[in-house]
Amino acid sequence: MFQQFFAWYNGLTDSLWGSLALFAVGVFLLIKGGDWFVDSAVGIAKRFHVPEIIIGATVVSIGTTLPEVMVSVTAAVNNNGAIAYGNAIGSIICNTALIAALTIAIRPAPVNKKAVVTPVIFFFVSAAIYMVAAYFLWLPG
């Protein structure tokens, strides 16, 4: 039975439309699965009278990280370290820049510029060091 499924799956991924269809189904299931995970985590926590901040800081953060972990593990198992590496970097960029930008766009608030300068400088210096190290130490050749 599994051999028939894998044969069907491999045949489907050989075509562009099959790959696009699998991609769309995967995105849909990922979104719905995340919704179900969050809803069930909130329901369980309410049942046990756990504050919602604890839910957000622990259970839901694990649920939102699991897809990235699965992509990285699958890539590493298939000897595609570059995909795992790019997934980690993309996650960091998205979590810091996109979320901060959306927060500012939705609800702007006054910012103490002196309090922001040090973390921003640290972020950019760390990113530069990481890029240099990745380019010279990680890339084969």
Would you place residue 28 in the very low, low, confident or very high pLDDT band (cuts 50, 70, 90)? Answer: very high
Whole-number average pLDDT of the chain: 81
Euclidean distance between CA atoms 30 and 67, whole angstroms: 8
3-state secondary structure of 49: coil
Bigger pLDDT: 23 or 64? 23
Euclidean distance between CA atoms 69 and 41, whole angstroms: 19
Euclidean distance between CA atoms 39 and 51, whole angstroms: 14
Radius of gyration of the chain (CA): 20
Would you place residue 7 in the very low, low, confident or very high pLDDT band (cuts 50, 70, 90)? Answer: confident
Closest to 67 measured CA to CA, from 100, 103, 106, 38: 38
For 51-83, the pLDDT digits (tens) are 877 877 777 677 677 778 888 888 888 888 788
pTM over 0.75: no
- In this prediction, residues 31-38 reach a mean pLDDT of 84
Q: What are the residue boundaries of the structural domains of the chain, listed by start?
A: 12-111, 112-141
Would you place residue 18 in the very low, low, confident or very high pLDDT band (cuts 50, 70, 90)? Answer: confident
Bigger pLDDT: 99 or 46? 46
